[in-house]
């Protein structure tokens, strides 16, 4: 009887450990990168600005530094609205493909589920007169680790798609000093 009880208890513990071991890697994988609204120091202006940051356990990397308002949105408001969109795109796997497009008559940068697929997650709305291809190229360079800092945008151009491996980029990205 005691042996049967011990065996049942041991089987229960093993099943619980298997369940936990399957859950933990998924949780860790989902926590690898967090896109948040923080601040980044612009040395050329000697000033901190709101920034969409990619946080990993080892570093933070500014993705977009928000210096200009759009319509009635301050740089801080833009940061607070856009950062969760990057997180959503990362978690759903659509941040791997970024593209330029139009939504509600405005130029946007968005994430797509694949090459030549429609926008699935709005990342950011561009200011009137900004060149969406130029903005897309700058964001691609930032996400590929070739550029850090604010994207400089300035009019309508053809739609392009870029594939991004954000996990690989952030493994090798430089660390920003506080």
The mean per-residue pLDDT over the stretch 7-23 comes to 40
pTM score over 0.75? no
pLDDT on residue 162: 66
Contact 39, 33 (CB under 8 A): no
pLDDT tens string 85-125 = 999 999 999 999 999 988 988 999 999 999 888 899 999 99
Top-confidence residue, 15 or 165: 165
Domain ranges of the chain: 69-167
The three-state secondary structure class of 159 is coil
Tokens of 21: 């071991």
| For residue 163, pLDDT beyond 90 | no
The per-residue pLDDT for range 136-162, each reduced to its tens digit, is: 988 888 877 776 554 533 233 445 666
Cα Rg, the chain, nearest whole Å: 21
1 confidence band (pLDDT: 50, 70, 90): low
Mean pLDDT for the stretch of residues 25-51: 79
pLDDT (0 to 100) of residue 124: 94
Higher pLDDT, 25 or 49: 49
Please tell me the predicted confidence (pLDDT) of residue 26: 42
> Pseudo-torsion of CA 13, 16, 22, 27, nearest 10°?
-120
Mean predicted lDDT score pLDDT of the chain:
76
């Amino acid at each position: 009887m005691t042996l049967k009880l011990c065996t049942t208890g041991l089987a229960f513990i093993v099943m619980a450990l298997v369940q936990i071991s399957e859950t933990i890697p998924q949780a860790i994988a989902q926590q690898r990168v967090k896109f948040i609204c923080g601040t980044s120091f612009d040395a050329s202006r000697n000033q901190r600005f709101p920034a969409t940051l990619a946080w990993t356990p080892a570093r933070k990397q500014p993705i977009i530094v928000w210096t200009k308002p759009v319509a009635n949105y301050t740089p801080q408001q833009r940061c607070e609205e856009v950062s969760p969109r990057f997180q959503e795109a990362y978690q759903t796997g659509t941040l791997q493909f970024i593209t330029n497009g139009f939504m509600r008559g405005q130029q946007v940068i968005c994430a797509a589920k694949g090459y030549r697929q429609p926008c699935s997650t709005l990342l950011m709305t561009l200011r009137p007169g900004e060149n969406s291809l130029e903005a897309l190229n700058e964001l691609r360079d930032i996400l590929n680790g070739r550029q850090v800092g604010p994207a400089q945008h300035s009019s309508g151009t053809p739609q392009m798609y870029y594939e991004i491996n954000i996990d690989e980029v952030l493994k090798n990205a430089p660390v920003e000093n506080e």
